[in-house]
Structure 1
Amino acid sequence: MTTPIDLTETRRMPGTTFSVVVDDGPDYLSMPKGMATYQAPLLPEPELLEGCTAGLELLRQLQRSLSRHRVGRPADVLDLGPLDLVNRRLVDQTLGEGEVSVIEQGLQGTRAQETRLAGVWRLEVPASGDCAGRELIEVAEIPRFVRESAFIGTIETIGPVADLADGVMNAPALIAEIEAKVAEWRPGDSAHIINLTLLPMTEQDHAYLDERLGRGHVTILSRGYGSCRIVASGIRQVWWVQHFNSDDRLILSTLEVTDVPIAALAAQEDIDDSRDRLAEILEALG
């Protein structure tokens, strides 16, 4: 797969440290470092909460969303637009930044950052046409735009290649396997995983796969269990999944035919835990 380009500039979502590469070519998220663990936020003293009524109410709405949300159901969405700077800072400080970052490429350019509360996402939706930009919070296993936009305009079959480059050995058979699994795939099916690390693949095989599968519109980075980069391919329901060690060395590379790879998803247990953590935070805020 293509390696990340060097940072030339960063864009930052208000209140987070989520950054993406800005370049004339495609956007790539920079690889995260280390493993993220939950850290309780440093909350303001009660006397400093005057004027934060709107921010506190939004956090209470978020708590109610976490209490009722179930994985697999539509996302619960809260709009940050009405909050002034003081209330926005309270929400930013309370939610912080979590393990997973997402960028939509080649379409509207929506970006998402998971907060400290797993399953709670901060979204930045750029302005488009007559629609103003928006900043949202979503409660979901993965932001809804991931499923909606990852494979827009992609294909289901690649077709044969008459002339193969020297050194291409096993990649054509893998393409045939992928196409068959894509044709069989239905929502709710378990992921079909091809472990490229364990296969006898030549450098030319990897290049062939990279060229023939192409890219879709979503890149996901997770640092929950080491660094993991997940990229939608140009074939419907096919994802590149790469795991890296602390030195950014690739240690596991797979192709997955699935809805969204499980490595990127918040589980119901995560959302329930976030509900309890936010309840503790709101109790501390008074």
Structure 2
Amino acid sequence: MRPFPISVVAMGPGSQGDEAPAYLPLPQMQTFAAPRLPDDVAPEAVLAAGGLLGKLLDQLESQGFGSAVQLDLLAQSAAVREVINQSLGFGEVSAFTTAPRHWRVQETAFAGLWRVLEVADDGRFLVDRLESGTIPPVLGEAMQQTAAADLPAPAYPEGCMNAPPLVEEIRLQAAAWQPGQAAHVINLTLLPVSDADLDTLYGWLGHREVSILSRGYGNCRITSTRLHNVWWVQYFNSMDTLILNSIEIVDMPEVALAADEDFADSLERLREYLDMLSEPV
């Protein structure tokens, strides 16, 4: 009789080892990394860019966060603008508008300092500037210019449960909201809403001309609607799955805004970076 091999398998407590816990994938937090210039950059461009940024920093330090200091870059050479691009890097928040004008906004790696571009239909830059503040006003202005002060209630298809009271809540809150008030937040993720409810709200409010992406912790996508001061604010995890779906009634959702304390930290880091930039190679 041929021998039959029998595998020896350990049994009992402690014999199988510990299995790694299975967690849902979470978004990664982005942290600051100092920008770096390419090795072949022209020294005169570095000198010119450093001078411009140094003057800007002096203004920012003397005038403070709420002063909306601007630096026009349109007249600068392509080489100088490229050094500034590389020096300032990219921050967590970016945005664009599709009407009435085509704005492109990018927070730099230094929170509270923004690159603001207006792009013509043929691709030319009509505006190119650096601007300080919580967020460039052109985004809120575009929302106000492309949205209405009121919207009539939509038709409610079969299957709607909570769309009618939600529509009335949104209309009343939008009409009553005043500058300086806290946001009125409707968290649709926590409410008993049907697919018909969501389809009705999406169709009624629309996703309109101002789009903002904040990448601080995961991705938060903010979109203007057809109604003044009403925004979609939607959070997605690293698998691009919608994990929080909300409507905010406010002039600009807080998640898109740079904070005062972040700006103070940015000034310190920008000063350190410019000191490093001025050192002889």
Correspondence 1:95 to 2:88: yes
The 1-side partners of 2:153 and 2:259 are apart by 39
The 2-side partners of 1:208 and 1:273 are apart by 44
Alignment check: 8 A CA contact 2:37 2:87 kept: yes
Measured after TM superposition, the shift of residue 86 of structure 1 is 2.7
Measured after TM superposition, the shift of residue 157 of structure 1 is 2.4
For 1:57, the equivalent position in structure 2 comes to 51
Moved more, 150-159 or 170-179: 150-159
Measured after TM superposition, the shift of residue 70 of structure 1 is 4.2
**Alpha-carbon spacing, 1:98–1:187, altered in 2? closer, same or farther (3 Å):** same
For 2:190, the equivalent position in structure 1 comes to 198
Moved more, 119-128 or 245-254: 119-128
For 2:228, the equivalent position in structure 1 comes to 236
For 1:67, the equivalent position in structure 2 comes to 61
Moved more, 56-65 or 234-243: 56-65
Moved more, 242-251 or 163-172: 163-172
The 2-side partners of 1:202 and 1:142 are apart by 35
**Alpha-carbon spacing, 1:68–1:181, altered in 2? closer, same or farther (3 Å):** farther
Measured after TM superposition, the shift of residue 79 of structure 1 is 1.1
Q: How many positions carry a matched residue from both structures?
A: 250
The 2-side partners of 1:87 and 1:238 are apart by 39
Measured after TM superposition, the shift of residue 215 of structure 1 is 3.4
Alignment check: 8 A CA contact 2:45 2:83 kept: no
Alignment check: 8 A CA contact 2:117 2:125 kept: no
**Alpha-carbon spacing, 1:48–1:259, altered in 2? closer, same or farther (3 Å):** same
- TM-score under structure 1 length normalisation: 0.81
For 1:36, the equivalent position in structure 2 comes to 30
Alignment check: 8 A CA contact 2:98 2:209 kept: yes
**Which amino acid counterpart does residue 118 of structure 1 have in structure 2?**
A
Gaps of 5+ in 1: 1-32
Q: Secondary structure at the match of 2:149?
A: coil
**Which amino acid counterpart does residue 42 of structure 1 have in structure 2?**
R
Correspondence 1:269 to 2:261: yes
The 1-side partners of 2:200 and 2:103 are apart by 30
**Which amino acid counterpart does residue 204 of structure 1 have in structure 2?**
A
Q: Is the radius of gyration larger for structure 1 or structure 2?
A: 2
Alignment check: 8 A CA contact 2:153 2:167 kept: no
**Alpha-carbon spacing, 1:74–1:229, altered in 2? closer, same or farther (3 Å):** same
Give matches, 1:71-220, under 5 Å.
71=65, 73=66, 75-127=68-120, 133-161=126-154, 163-220=155-212
Please provide the CA RMSD for this pair.
Answer: 2.2
Q: Secondary structure at the match of 1:247?
A: coil
Measured after TM superposition, the shift of residue 140 of structure 1 is 1.4
The 2-side partners of 1:284 and 1:77 are apart by 23
Alignment check: 8 A CA contact 2:173 2:184 kept: yes
Q: Which runs of 4+ in 1 moved over 4 A?
A: none
The 1-side partners of 2:62 and 2:170 are apart by 37
Measured after TM superposition, the shift of residue 84 of structure 1 is 1.7
Q: 1:32-52 deviations in whole A, cap 9, x for unaligned?
A: x8543210122478x963353
**Alpha-carbon spacing, 1:110–1:36, altered in 2? closer, same or farther (3 Å):** same
Moved more, 83-92 or 244-253: 83-92
The 2-side partners of 1:173 and 1:119 are apart by 38
Measured after TM superposition, the shift of residue 158 of structure 1 is 2.1
Alignment check: 8 A CA contact 1:66 1:274 kept: no
The 2-side partners of 1:196 and 1:98 are apart by 29
Measured after TM superposition, the shift of residue 68 of structure 1 is 3.7
Correspondence 1:260 to 2:252: yes
For 2:22, the equivalent position in structure 1 comes to none
Percentage identity across aligned positions?
Answer: 40
Give matches, 1:3-42, under 5 Å.
34-42=28-36
Measured after TM superposition, the shift of residue 143 of structure 1 is 1.1
